[in-house]
Structure 1
Amino acid sequence: MAKDIETEVPIELTHKDYYDPPPAPFYDAAELRKWSFYRALIAEFVATLLFLYVTILTVIGYNHQIHLGDSCDGVGILGIAWAFGGMIFVLVYCTAGISGGHINPAVTFGLFLARKVSLVRAIAYMVAQCLGAISGVGLVKAFQKSYYNRYNGGVNLLSDGYSKGTGLGAEIIGTFVLVYTVFSATDPKRKARDSHVPVLAPLPIGFAVFVVHLATIPVTGTGINPARSFGPAVILNNEKAWDDQWIFWVGPFIGAAIAAVYHQYVLRAQAAKALGSFRSSSHL
């Protein structure tokens, strides 16, 4: 690689003010021997546990207010959306420097498709997130068992009057908004030109979760996070909880895949760059 003689910086880097890290290896077994890998798994587990604990308590509290007939005194749908968005903001801020602050298998899947994380890390993160979600909801049930069972444990359910296709579409589009925001907020090019973005990156991600909840709570209760849907279903464990569970996995994974392709290959033009590099090398 050619270098600038005075600065010893690769010439390619002198023509742009940002640096794209190389793609993560598809399979990196060496990660299994690093403490940083297990530290990241612990961070994802604890963050997802706290996320589910706070948000499911909020959902159950809201349902209790509705049952008592004084819903105007409760947090309402707006409060539930704030609980989910606010917790994501806080937890991404706390864990971004350790694990990347995924807290969502769909986010992890999208970043894997974009070669931001290896297959080993992606699978391990998803397992940690699901276990964290189960543990968080388990704590809710342990502390408020009667309310938990009475109000269906905060599980995601397709609302009456909506078809499965509508629910699937809501999950796809909602997750697309979230994962697209994650890519945009963590884009190295944006970080270089707007120095405040790395500090504020958790804020747009939290707001994305907030606004998606406002739109889709009436349809599916808002999943956009397979771990969030899986944890309550496991702990409640009745037929109703599992009826539409596939929607809350298939929808988010499709939405995340579309967001990854859109950001990486349309907005960042990775396919065009790769083709251009291939053509230039063919003339050497």
Structure 2
Amino acid sequence: MLRKLSAEAFGTFWLVFGGCGSALLAAGVPDVGIGFMGVSFAFGLTVLTMAYAVGGISGGHFNPAVSLGLAIAGRFEYKDLVPYWLAQLVGGIAGAAVLYVIASGTAGFSAGGFASNGYDALSPGGYSMMAALVAEIVLTAFFLIIILGATSKAAPVGFAPIAIGLGLTLIHLISIPVTNTSVNPARSIAAAIFAQNGALGQVWLFILAPLVGGALGAAIWKYLLSPGESVGNVGREK
């Protein structure tokens, strides 16, 4: 179990450090900044690379909503949920802490939003709380459908991390203007801790909505879409 939890911690560290780091350090650089598109690909690449690196150890969740969804779909043991969540949270906060040390090493640094998530005044596009809630639930649900489908026996072998990474990229391309994209409570909590814009007061939505979305996506897969997985047959497709 220690190896699994370590893999989850390192994977979530890389997701937060790489994804939020691209937003903080590279997105707004004059003339050569990577912008929303670059940040979207950065988040996708963090999951893709760590899924190949340590996915064989822990399953490569790196996200409490993914762990919950996999448990609901019969792909993960409920008894391991809390340890996985704690490892993901520790890894995410550590990634944000290292990023803060690096980002603050320049003159005039201000943490500001620190790539945190938000709605209303804290939304990049000024979107409402309801818009943020719906976006996070729907996008996390589809993320779980992508994950469960890409890792099923009906899918081509060896390509799951690519599909999952590109899926997360697409999710960011859609929703960065809405919420700065969470679909991951560990990522949201980690960034909000270091933000100086009141993000901690809104982080509840980015814990609740991804968990609800993850559960919804898993239920859709389990009961409507799964090839070979049914209520009486869950768990055989591993």
The TM-score with structure 2 as length reference comes to 0.88
Structure 2 residue runs without a partner (length 5+): 234-238
Equivalent position of 2:140 in the other structure: 175
Equivalent residue in structure 2 for 1:244, among 190, 199, 202: 202
Percent identical pairs in the alignment equals 31
Report if aligned partners of 2:27, 2:38 keep a CA contact under 8 Å in 1: no
Report if aligned partners of 1:64, 1:151 keep a CA contact under 8 Å in 2: no
Confirm whether residue 47 of structure 1 aligns to residue 8 of structure 2: no
Confirm whether residue 264 of structure 1 aligns to residue 222 of structure 2: yes
Report if aligned partners of 1:55, 1:83 keep a CA contact under 8 Å in 2: yes
Structure whose alpha-carbon radius of gyration is higher: 1
Equivalent position of 2:190 in the other structure: 231
Match of 1:207, SS state, is helix
Distance 2:192 2:111 in 1: 14
Which structure has greater helix proportion? 1
Q: What does the per-residue CA deviation read over 1:156-203, in whole Å, with 9 as the maximum and x for residues that have no partner?
A: 122153110100011011111211100001113x15xxxxx2311100
* Dislocated runs of 4+, deviation >6 Å: none
* 1:146 CA displacement: 5.6
Equivalent position of 1:56 in the other structure: 20
Equivalent position of 1:155 in the other structure: 116
Distance 1:186 1:64 in 2: 36
Opposite residue 99 of structure 2, the aligned amino acid is: V
Distance 1:128 1:223 in 2: 18
Equivalent residue in structure 2 for 1:164, among 113, 129, 140: 129
Confirm whether residue 138 of structure 1 aligns to residue 102 of structure 2: no
Distance 2:18 2:126 in 1: 29
Distance 1:149 1:265 in 2: 48
Confirm whether residue 102 of structure 1 aligns to residue 61 of structure 2: yes
Report if aligned partners of 1:53, 1:140 keep a CA contact under 8 Å in 2: yes
Equivalence map 1:55-74=2 (5 Å): 55-62=19-26, 64-65=28-29, 70=30, 72-74=31-33
Distance 2:76 2:171 in 1: 25
Distance 1:184 1:44 in 2: 21
Distance 1:150 1:229 in 2: 15
Q: What does the per-residue CA deviation read over 1:203-249, in whole Å, with 9 as the maximum and x for residues that have no partner?
A: 0000110001000000000001111101011233x561112211111
Distance 1:54 1:161 in 2: 25
Distance 1:62 1:39 in 2: 32
Distance 1:102 1:117 in 2: 10
Distance 1:138 1:223 in 2: 18
**Higher relative contact order, chain-length normalized (CA < 8 Å, sep 6+):** 2
Opposite residue 135 of structure 1, the aligned amino acid is: A
Match of 1:47, SS state, is helix
**Structure 1 range deviating more: 120-129 or 145-154:** 145-154
Opposite residue 243 of structure 1, the aligned amino acid is: G
Equivalent residue in structure 2 for 1:87, among 39, 42, 46: 46
* 1:150 CA displacement: 3.8
Structure 1 residue runs without a partner (length 5+): 1-36, 192-196, 275-284
Report if aligned partners of 2:25, 2:103 keep a CA contact under 8 Å in 1: no
Report the count of equivalent residues. 225
The TM-score with structure 1 as length reference comes to 0.75
